């Protein structure tokens, strides 16, 4: 059984895959925050801007089998898409690795999809993920030390970029925390990336474009 908040087709808005068409499958639930406002300030990521509670989103529901999820995702990929373009799905959350398993990944591969995952890195990842983005948070032990993309919300006193710069990732991104200090956070992020060119800035262009 897979408990899913929503499944929708859009453009990737962050990181190295920015602008790429993708079907997003957002699992319900997270191991670092209940999603309830009363628990926000005590959570590992009080700046979280995602609703991952329940199954009431577009395409949301409780899916009994991997094939059911895979078929729902496949139907959202445009039928007129160029056959040379590999379909792409991003499993996210909440925390997708609480539910994502080999069976669902294999079901997506059988339908020709490239599989991306956005995780906080606190749980081990299946081996057959095609694109792995890790975004560490405070109050957690990192369990994933290599992948395609490390995306760090900045600034966080407990999580300086230097702590992660030697890990085995292809891309290193800083993303300014979008809260009441957003303007100041962006200035600090720009300054850090200018002084440390290994790190690139990630902008949330889906918010700029006002898309999902």
Give dist(CA 189, CA 61) in Å, integer.
Answer: 37
Q: Which residues are catalytic?
A: 24, 30, 45, 48-50, 118, 206
Phi (first) and psi of residue 11, to 5 degrees:
-110, 140
- Contact call for residues 179 and 202 (beta carbons, < 8 A): no
Joined tokens for residue 92: 């996210």
pLDDT number for residue 205: 87
- Contact call for residues 29 and 4 (beta carbons, < 8 A): no
Q: What is the CATH number of the domain that holds 199?
A: 3.20.20.70
What domain count does the chain have?
1
Its domain, for residue 178, covers 2-209
Q: What is the largest CA-CA distance in the chain?
A: 49
Give dist(CA 53, CA 56) in Å, integer.
Answer: 8
DSSP string, 47-85: T-----SSS-STT-EEESSHHHHHHHHHHHS-TTS-TTS
pLDDT tens series, the chain, 212 aa: 999 999 999 999 999 999 999 999 999 999 999 999 999 988 888 888 899 999 999 999 999 999 999 999 999 999 888 888 999 999 999 999 999 999 999 999 999 999 999 999 999 999 999 999 999 998 899 999 999 999 999 999 899 999 999 999 999 999 999 999 999 999 999 999 999 999 999 999 888 888 87
Q: How many CB atoms lie within 10 A of CB 202?
A: 26
């Amino acid at each position: 059984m897979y408990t899913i908040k929503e499944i929708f087709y859009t453009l990737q808005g962050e990181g190295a895959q920015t602008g790429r068409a993708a079907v997003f499958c957002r699992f319900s639930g997270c191991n670092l925050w209940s999603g309830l406002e009363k628990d926000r300030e005590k959570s590992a990521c009080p700046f979280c801007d995602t609703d991952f509670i329940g199954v009431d989103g577009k395409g949301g529901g409780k899916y009994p089998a991997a094939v059911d999820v895979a078929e729902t995702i496949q139907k959202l990929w445009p039928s007129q898409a160029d056959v040379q373009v590999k379909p792409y799905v991003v499993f996210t959350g909440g925390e997708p690795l609480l539910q994502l398993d080999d069976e669902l990944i294999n079901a997506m591969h059988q339908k020709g999809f490239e599989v991306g995952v956005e995780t906080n890195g606190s749980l081990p990842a299946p081996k057959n993920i095609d694109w792995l983005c890790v975004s560490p948070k405070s109050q957690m032990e990192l369990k994933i030390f290599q992948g395609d993309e490390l995306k760090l919300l900045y600034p966080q006193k407990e999580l300086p970029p230097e702590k992660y710069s030697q890990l085995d990732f292809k891309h290193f991104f800083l993303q300014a925390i979008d809260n009441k200090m957003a303007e100041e956070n962006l200035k600090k992020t720009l300054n850090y990336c200018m002084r440390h060119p290994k790190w690139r800035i990630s902008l949330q262009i889906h918010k700029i474009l006002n898309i999902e």
